[in-house]
A = this chain, B = another copy of it.
Amino acid sequence: MAGVLVSLASAAQAGDPLASWNDGPAKQAILGFVRSAIAEGSPEFIPPAERIATFDQDGTLWVEQPMYAQVMYSLERVPAVVKAKPELASVEPFKTVLSGDREAIAKLTMPDLEKILAATLTGMSVEAFQGEVERWIGTARDARWKRPYTELTYLPMQEVLAYLRTHGFKTYIVTGGGQDFVRVYSERVYGIPPEQVVGSAGETAFGYDGSGRPTLTKEPKLLLNDDKAGKPEGIHLMIGRRPHAAFGNSSGDREMLEYTGAGGGARLMMLVHHDDAQREYAYGVGSRIGAFPDALMAEAKKDGWIVISMKNDWKRIFAFEP
């Protein structure tokens, strides 16, 4: 993160708030949107209180391949869970995870994964969970770059976050990932405080521990599935305003962009397209993670959404690049 901050600071000094962007329609769309949003008297003007911008996380703000960081967390938590409940060691899908057989793990079904998520993300107090995620995120390394996941954020998107905030926008994460998970590091990594993270959320149960101290326990019951139609629904629940700008990278963000596009004043809808196999990954059409089918590209064209080509629009992808 120090790297990101230094880069942002020197970019701002150099006078270009989007220094990691190549000039082109994507960069111009962002600059033009902000110009319109702050033009008092113009029909495009957005009153400061209504300057809301929402960002998907996985694949939009940081790397999501080959597996979501939160799923990695859950898989790596399995040994601790089995240590506490040894009877799980011989039960699937825990047995497969413990085997360490990468191919078998990659083939786990959704119901299997849900069992693992429930066992590793619920059943503890919210504070205990926060502590576990903090420890993990501080030490875990991604397999390709051998760096903390928190360094795998896209510098060009960090610039967009900072640029919008400079012009009075409140930036939110709106993620299909777990709200409680992302909130642990969102402030440090993106400058986005926990209360501006909307994500998939389970119920909590208020109660008292053995010494009568009030506690909130994470329950295995989904309250908000913050993906696809759940994104505008979650935005209404948690923010209560229609965003003026929304950024995504897959079919899971379609409804959020549609909802964002359906209001008055300046509007900006953008999709990150992962087309850079060399510097990051190239995927999308039909991918299990970050699906970007042709129909989404067609809708983007029809509705004036801007598709960001990672390959062509981004001069630099990560702050740690030379």
The chain A residues found within 8 Å of chain B, CB to CB, are: 49, 126, 170, 179-180, 183, 187, 193-195, 197, 201, 203-207, 213-214, 216, 223-224, 229-230, 232-233, 236-241, 255, 258-259, 262
Contact = CB atoms under 8 A, between A and B. Distances in A.
A214 B238 contact: no
15 contacts: A126-B236, A170-B195, A179-B240, A180-B240, A183-B240, A194-B241, A195-B238, A195-B240, A204-B237, A205-B229, A206-B229, A206-B255, A214-B259, A223-B224, A223-B237
Contacts of A170: 195
A232 B259 contact: no
Contact of A262 (B213, B239, B241): B213
Nearest to A261: B214
Given A204-B236, A206-B255, A213-B262, 15 more contacts: A49-B193, A180-B240, A183-B240, A194-B239, A194-B241, A195-B240, A195-B241, A204-B233, A205-B229, A206-B229, A214-B258, A214-B262, A216-B236, A223-B224, A223-B237
B255 A214 contact: yes
A232 B258 contact: no
B195 A239 contact: yes
Contacts of A229: 205-207
A208 to B, nearest CB: 8
A201 B255 contact: no
A176 to B, nearest CB: 15
A111 B106 CA distance: 50
A233 B255 contact: no
4 smallest CB-CB distances across A and B, nearest first, come from A194-B240, A206-B229, A214-B258, A195-B239
A171 B207 CA distance: 25
Nearest to A126: B236
A244 to B, nearest CB: 14
B216 A233 contact: yes
A230 B262 CA distance: 33
Given A180-B240, A183-B240, A216 B259 contact: yes
A232 B255 contact: no
A46 to B, nearest CB: 14
Nearest to A194: B240
Nearest to A258: B214
A233 B262 CA distance: 32
Contacts of A187: 49
